[in-house]
Every structure is written in structure tokens, then in C-alpha cells.
């Protein structure tokens, strides 16, 4: 996933780069631009998933940039950074359907949370779009009739959707609906490939990811619990112990030895 940060103040750009907790996010590329013109060049040259832009810049308003993005790259999620807590700015940002409007100086912990929510929105929409496309192709190939076994790419798309949405609630019914198969049939497909139903596969993926995260120095169990989709901390502890044979803290101590 790619993030583009736009601000004409070098200190602000560097502050964001240094202050955001990037280890809690999943950006493969973090790009920066100090002008509207350079930002448009980057957006025209390569895919960008999330745009974080200041409103007031020397050459143009960040809101003008967002309007251009909406017209040319509507899939990009736009977040506004502003020193102004003014109704006119906020109102225009709302009209432009910005993902969020953040006031400077923003606590970097808050900005990290905003970026995390934007990432989850991108992944959710991307996964739903992918499943819908594969599902429609599948139904079309079958002449509108549901068949016993969908093409492999549909099942692969479901697996990818699960991996990309591991930190949010995953409903078997919702995923099956997007893939244009019944929940029962989807479970049969997972049983055939993995020897387990969808819900057990999701738990397995969460536990594997949790173990990977807990090997990172200094990361808290609470953060790991949230990252792998468990809002109930106690339930996460129970599931981790069931899967790994020890609590998360015991697992962390074992890695330190």
C-alpha cells in the first residue's frame, strides 16, 4: 500500500515521517511532495492508496488537489491536515468526501490511528471489489446458475480477502455473498483445501500473525490483540493459549531467551 504526504514545510514532513508509528501500519511505499505540482506528477505516475495533504501551500490549496484527485483518481482516500479549525474549510472537505480532517499540531498517535482506519477502509473496499468481480465472472460462466465448484481464482480471492481483513470482523456470510456462493458451500471448499471451515482458517491466520507480531521487540500484547482482530482482550489470550500452548506474554518471554 502506498501513502503520499504533501506539505510545503520540510519540518512538518519530517515530523510526520519521524513521529507516526509506522510499525503499526502496513505501508510498502511512503512518498512525499512539497508542492501541488509535484503531488500531481506522482499521482499521475504511480498508484497511490492514501493522500495526506496540508490545506495551505504556496502554490495551491490542498483542497484543490483533493478535488483533482476525486476527478482523476476517485479510489484514493484523502486526509486533510490543517492549522485552521474553520467551518468553511471543514465544510468543503466534507463536500469533497475526505476520509478525515485533522488539525495541526496533531498528536502522532492520533495520526497513526487515522492512517490505520484509512488503510482498513482501502483494504475492505478493495477486497469487496475483487470478490464481487470474481463472483460475477463465476456466475456469468455458469449461465447464472450456481455450480458445485467455482474456479480456483474465486477461492484464492476469498483467502486474500481474509488475509487483508484479518484485523477487522470477518463474517463468513458476508464473504460468501460477495463471492456468490453459499456459506455452506464456501465452508466445504475450505474443508477440502485446508481440512477446516472458514472460521477455523481465520483463527489460524490470526494466531500465526499474532506470533509474528509478538516477536517484535517492545510491542504490547494489547496492540497485537487489536491488530489481529480481537477487541476482547481476554478472548484473544484464550485463543492464543489454545493455539500455541502458552499465553502471549509467555510466548514473548520465550522469544527473549
Residue 235 confidence (pLDDT): 92
- What domains appear along the chain, each with residue ranges and CATH number? 2-106 (3.40.50.2300), 118-195 (no CATH), 203-256 (1.10.10.60)
- Cβ burial of 117 (10 Å; 0-12, 13-18, 19+) is middle
Which pLDDT score, from 0 to 100, does residue 249 have? 92
Cα distance from N-terminal residue to C-terminal residue, the chain: 34
Q: What is the pLDDT of residue 90?
A: 59
Give the list of residues 6+ apart from residue 214 with CB closer than 8 angstroms, or none.
Answer: 221, 224, 248, 251, 252, 255
**Which regions of the chain are under pLDDT 70?**
59, 84-94, 126-153
Question: Which residues fall within 8 angstroms of residue 18, CB to CB, at 6 or more apart?
Answer: none
Structure confidence by residue, pLDDT tens digits, 215-254: 887 788 888 888 888 888 899 999 999 999 999 999 988 8
Nearest-angstrom CA–CA distance, 208 and 23: 18
Orientation of helix 198-214 relative to helix 152-164, angle to 10°:
40
Cα distance between residue 14 and residue 41, in whole Å: 21
Cβ contact 48:4 at 8 Å: yes
Quote the pLDDT of residue 6.
93
Q: d(Cα 161, Cα 170) in Å, to the nearest integer? A: 9
Which is it for strands 50-54 and 2-6: parallel, antiparallel or unpaired? parallel
Angle (deg, nearest 10), helices 233-244 and 198-214: 90
Coil vs helix vs strand at 247: coil
Amino acid at each position: 500500500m502506498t501513502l503520499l504526504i504533501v506539505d510545503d514545510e520540510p519540518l512538518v514532513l519530517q515530523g510526520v515521517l519521524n513521529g507516526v508509528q509506522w510499525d503499526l501500519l502496513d505501508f510498502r511505499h511512503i512518498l512525499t511532495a512539497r508542492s501541488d505540482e509535484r503531488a500531481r506528477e506522482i499521482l499521475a505516475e504511480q498508484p497511490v492508496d492514501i493522500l495526506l495533504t496540508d490545506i495551505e501551500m504556496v502554490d495551491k490549496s490542498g483542497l484543490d488537489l483533493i478535488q483533482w484527485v476525486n476527478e482523476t483518481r476517485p479510489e484514493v482516500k484523502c486526509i486533510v491536515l490543517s492549522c485552521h479549525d474553520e467551518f468553511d474549510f471543514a465544510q468543503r472537505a466534507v463536500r469533497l468526501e475526505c476520509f478525515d480532517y485533522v488539525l495541526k499540531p496533531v498528536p502522532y498517535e492520533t495520526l497513526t490511528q487515522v492512517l490505520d482506519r484509512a488503510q482498513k477502509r482501502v483494504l475492505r473496499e478493495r477486497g469487496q471489489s475483487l470478490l464481487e468481480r470474481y463472483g460475477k465472472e463465476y456466475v456469468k460462466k455458469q449461465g447464472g446458475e450456481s455450480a458445485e465448484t467455482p474456479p480456483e481464482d474465486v477461492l484464492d480471492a476469498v483467502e486474500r480477502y481474509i488475509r487483508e481483513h484479518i484485523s477487522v470482523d470477518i463474517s463468513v456470510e458476508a464473504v460468501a455473498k460477495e463471492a456468490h456462493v453459499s456459506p455452506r458451500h464456501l465452508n466445504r471448499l475450505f474443508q477440502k483445501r485446508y481440512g477446516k471451515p472458514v472460521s477455523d482458517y481465520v483463527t489460524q491466520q490470526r494466531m500465526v500473525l499474532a506470533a509474528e507480531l509478538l516477536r517484535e521487540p517492545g510491542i504490547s500484547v494489547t496492540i497485537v490483540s487489536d491488530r489481529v482482530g480481537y477487541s476482547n482482550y481476554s478472548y484473544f489470550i484464550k485463543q492464543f493459549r489454545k493455539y500455541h500452548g502458552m499465553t502471549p506474554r509467555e510466548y514473548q518471554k520465550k522469544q527473549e531467551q
